Structure 1
Amino acid sequence: MNKATKGSNMMCESSRMMLPEHVEALRHRKEEQKKLPKHELDEQELEEISIVIMDSLKYKLEVKITYWKEGYYREMIGVVDLVDVQTKKIKPRVDDDIEYLFIDCLKQVERL
């Protein structure tokens, strides 16, 4: 008698296993459930963010940027090098590494 499954057929006990594909699918599903929706900025938040971005651009001040990318919020500290109004992107410089961020993916921008 197996104490985990009382009264079960012992012949079927050895066939309990998970295929690697099933394990990977469960792992992928768990990761998908951790993802967060993108934060929508209202006009006041957008105005505050744009002021901090323009100060960083003009005076080369470091800012802490919280942004959404592929379901997760990430942070970076750097100086804004470029604001592209047509494509609605900013280009922060972080330790000589440059990455473009969409303005609608920003959650928060703070002065340091």
Structure 2
Amino acid sequence: MDKELFGQPYDNSDPYWIIKSYFDRMYGSGLFIKAIGYMAEKNSFHVDGAYCSFPDMDSCYDEEHFEGVEFAYGYPPEDNDTIVVSESICYKYLAIACNKYLKLHPEDNLKVNAILKHSLIHDG
């Protein structure tokens, strides 16, 4: 059984490798469905070494005030292992990851498509 959707090694010249590694980590940890559910509701979801964060403008922490979606890789993540992307880019990779997931798990088609259909993030 594949433990990754995008697969390593990641091309560090690809600015979105961090997003791909996030989905690979969620899939490999058996948390893919849970992670995309949180993401679709604009809720942050992390495991050690893979982070997806949405802004919290009500937070007292300045680092939680940003626009877009932040992905980070590593424990702890360093600045060059962190990227903030638009919701449109986030949705693009969410859709790609879901398509890859469904090729491996067609039995989850209804579940995944229901999450995407009700997603609060969109492609534009």
TM-score, length-normalised on structure 1? Answer: 0.28
Higher strand share: 1
TM-score, length-normalised on structure 2? Answer: 0.26
